């Protein structure tokens, strides 16, 4: 078996190519059955709206069933609902079949433990090792599992939102919604209608091949234009599996994820709902966010990049709010992982309460000047060559020393695509720009 299977958020690839083949998924399910599903002999599987989800579900189910494992099929649901339901069904683990914000041809497998948390690095390393070894014979071929269908609808979210706000809480607001033709396609609009908002619903007709296609969190042009044309108060977009949120104001301007974290912190603190007197974001967040959080009298903690690391740090410091600049917002009082719907509801409630336009509220804080680049290459081998090059390591160390005390440099490879992400921030805009140019030139000379 060549290469590393797990990225920052599970396994991801083009569906029907290695490792997302029928053969691989069946073997993976057998390995998980023998290594993880040893107590309850049960697993929960969910998926987004990609056409390949049915194929991967069938392959995984066949592997689990062959080992006597019961499979709970909860169908098409957002990732955060999958993680929330996992401990409630008393299973050994769950799998979310999704490639999040990627195009429909991609797919992926997010492995979730019995508590509803994503597998640890140690667990994924063990699974990778076992997948490289041949399977042994089935000790009990007569023991065959069964599939139990558990249909889920918007009811779960509706019932929870009723505990947060009354049915007329957003009456008078006009909100455009974009469900990315994904997991929230049948959920997002009913929730906001219940809350009394006037809405227009986009990206709510999935056909298996249009998930994230010119819609959702990655393509907000239509959403922004709709908000402007209809003179709506705001626009809300989610991604294909519902754990990422993007918001645009009444002028169609897309708001930065760090600004949303700052707003949520302000709102929760105002209503005495913030726990641990702390907020968590990642090292990739703008330095201005931490400065603003501290100005509120709160502690700010920076985790490694990745939702799992945000959640780990939140638990460590006792916070119920964390997020990533990319749009993952974790409100742990409502969901175990990032949930776009709950973040959207809380932000909307705050805007309604303020009687202000979004453009009058955002930006919540002044960001440090920042330069970001996503450098795409032909394959991951080139990326490994770049990241291990002495010249690149020395350049990063040199820039880091120059920025010490007033700026930051971040260089990381994407866990889901052949991309190197660069970010340099400094109090001085020209410094950030010139250092980025120098870094880019160094990297491209290696490639």
State pLDDT tens for residues 136-158. Answer: 999 889 999 999 999 876 688 99
Contact 98, 241 (CB under 8 A): yes
When pLDDT is averaged across residues 291-302 and rounded to a whole number, the result is: 97
When pLDDT is averaged across residues 44-69 and rounded to a whole number, the result is: 98
Dist. CA 396–CA 389, nearest whole Å: 11
When pLDDT is averaged across residues 230-249 and rounded to a whole number, the result is: 97
When pLDDT is averaged across residues 281-289 and rounded to a whole number, the result is: 94
Collapse the DSSP code of 270 into the 3-class scheme (helix H, G, I; strand E, B; otherwise coil) and give the result.
Answer: helix
| pLDDT beyond 60 at 3 | no
Backbone dihedral angles phi then psi of residue 435, each to the nearest 5 degrees: -70, -35
Which of 77, 67, 5 shows the shortest CA–CA distance to 38?
Answer: 67
Task: Check residue 153 and give its pLDDT.
Answer: 67
The catalytic residue among 100, 217, 224, 319 is: 100
Task: Check residue 2 and give its pLDDT.
Answer: 38
**Catalytic residue list contains 61:** no
Task: Check residue 378 and give its pLDDT.
Answer: 87
Whole-Å CA distances, 268 to 160, 234, 271, 276, 338: 18, 20, 5, 12, 16
Within 10 Å of residue 27's Cβ, how many Cβ atoms? Answer: 18
Task: Check residue 8 and give its pLDDT.
Answer: 72
Task: Check residue 1 and give its pLDDT.
Answer: 36
| pLDDT beyond 80 at 358 | yes
Residue % of the chain over a pLDDT of 90: 90
Single pTM value for the model: 0.90
If residue 142 lies in a helix (H) or strand (E), which one and from where to where? none
When pLDDT is averaged across residues 360-372 and rounded to a whole number, the result is: 95
* 78-135 tens-digit pLDDT: 999 999 999 999 999 999 999 999 999 999 999 999 999 999 889 999 999 999 999 9
Range with lowest mean pLDDT among 187-201, 390-404, 415-429: 415-429
Q: State how beta strands 70-76 and 42-47 pair.
A: parallel
């Amino acid at each position: 078996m060549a290469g590393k299977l797990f990225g920052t958020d599970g396994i991801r690839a083009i569906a029907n190519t290695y490792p997302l083949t029928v053969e691989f998924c069946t073997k993976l399910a057998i390995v998980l059955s023998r290594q993880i599903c040893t107590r309850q002999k049960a697993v929960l599987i969910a998926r987004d709206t990609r056409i390949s989800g049915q194929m991967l579900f069938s392959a995984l189910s066949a592997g689990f069933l062959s080992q006597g494992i019961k499979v709970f099929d909860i169908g098409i649901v957002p990732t955060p609902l999958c993680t929330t339901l996992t401990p409630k069904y008393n299973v050994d683990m769950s799998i979310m079949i999704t490639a999040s914000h990627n195009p429909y041809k991609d797919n992926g497998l997010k492995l979730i433990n019995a508590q509803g948390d994503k597998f640890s690095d140690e667990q994924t390393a063990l699974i990778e090792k076992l997948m490289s070894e041949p399977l042994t014979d089935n000790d009990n071929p007569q023991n065959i599992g069964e599939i139990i269908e558990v249909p889920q609808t918007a009811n779960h979210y509706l019932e929870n939102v009723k505990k947060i706000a009354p049915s007329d809480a957003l009456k008078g607001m006009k909100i455009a919604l974009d469900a990315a033709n994904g997991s929230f396609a049948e959920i997002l609009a009913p929730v906001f209608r219940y809350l009394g908002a006037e809405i227009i619903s986009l990206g709510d007709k999935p056909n298996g091949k249009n998930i994230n296609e010119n819609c959702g969190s990655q393509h907000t042009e239509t959403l922004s234009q709709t908000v402007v044309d209809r003179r709506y108060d705001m626009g809300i977009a989610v991604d294909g599996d519902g754990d990422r949120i993007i918001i645009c104001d009444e002028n169609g301007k897309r708001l930065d994820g760090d600004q949303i974290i700052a707003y949520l912190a302000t709102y929760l603190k105002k209503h005495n709902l913030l726990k641990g007197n702390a907020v968590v974001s990642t090292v990739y967040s703008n330095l201005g966010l931490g400065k603003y959080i501290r100005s509120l009298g709160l502690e700010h903690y920076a985790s490694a990049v990745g939702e799992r690391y945000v959640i780990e740090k939140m638990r460590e410091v006792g916070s119920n709010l964390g997020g990533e600049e990319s749009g993952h917002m974790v409100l742990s009082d409502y969901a175990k992982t990032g949930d776009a719907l709950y973040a959207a509801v809380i932000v909307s409630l705050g805007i309604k309460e303020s009687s202000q336009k979004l453009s009058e509220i955002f930006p919540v804080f002044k960001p440090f000047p920042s330069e970001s680049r996503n450098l795409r290459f032909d394959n991951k081998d080139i990326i490994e060559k770049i990241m291990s090059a002495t010249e690149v390591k020395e350049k990063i160390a040199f820039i880091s020393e120059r920025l010490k005390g007033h700026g930051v440099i971040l260089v990381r490879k994407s866990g889901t695509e052949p991309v190197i992400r660069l970010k340099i921030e400094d109090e001085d805009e020209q410094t950030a720009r010139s250092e980025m140019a120098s870094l880019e030139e160094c990297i491209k000379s290696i490639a």
